[in-house]
Structure 1
């Protein structure tokens, strides 16, 4: 019967690296999500200012966002008009339109602009956080 010996030092080094990296990467992902939500909120309100007209002049100020954690690895941003604010209840009508009004798609356009930036920043945060030998 023969016995084999394994050098586990590199496995232990990887374990220590991941133990330090994963929390930092989670924190960076949350920061990217917050920044993305702020950008979408800002752009949505700017789009709404240019399309909502005089009848919905308070609507752009109703756009807000909330950040909510859903476990240790999921952070979600909810962005849109707050129905509790002045003219916030007009959000569905202005965004999606009606039988007599075309959709403005202010939020959809803001999301389309932010999505590639968000994805790139999230990928960068993951690469930096999990890169072996750089932590």
Structure 2
């Protein structure tokens, strides 16, 4: 029995992944940013329709920040800026209170974005893993 093993395909895969990982990081960040933009836009649109008449400035406070933690963790924080005019009403409007029902403007926006986000991240990973043998 021959104990030799041909490592050429393993080395080719290693080179492919070494080239693909930086592109995957860049593409994943773009997907996170695009998803944050979509959620912010939809949240604002939802809030314009459902926000009470006494909170007309609230939709304009909704924004997002994107942060990277190391090379492989990218996170978007989306929501009202509590320092903005009526931004502090965000928790009350989103989650409701004893006397006010929840509006779930942000929750509905996130729910709408979830399948699009997952599909785009799947495409990023498919491109990373696709290689010719």
> Normalising by structure 1, what TM-score?
0.93
The CA deviation at 1:3 is 7.5
CA distances 1:60-102 after superposition (whole Å, capped 9, x unpaired): 0000001011121111110000111111100000000111111
Kept in 2: contact 1:25–1:130 (CA 8 A): no
Structure-1 separation of matches of 2:3 and 2:123: 40
Structure-1 separation of matches of 2:35 and 2:115: 10
Corresponding position: 1:116 with 2:115: yes
Q: Which runs of 5+ in 2 are unaligned?
A: none
> Normalising by structure 2, what TM-score?
0.94
Structure-2 separation of matches of 1:130 and 1:69: 23
Structure-2 separation of matches of 1:132 and 1:42: 36
After TM superposition, the structure 1 = structure 2 runs for residues 36-75 of structure 1, keeping only pairs within 5 Å, are 36-75=35-74
The CA deviation at 1:133 is 2.1
After TM superposition, the structure 1 = structure 2 runs for residues 76-95 of structure 1, keeping only pairs within 5 Å, are 76-95=75-94
Q: CA RMSD in A?
A: 1.6
Count of residue correspondences: 133
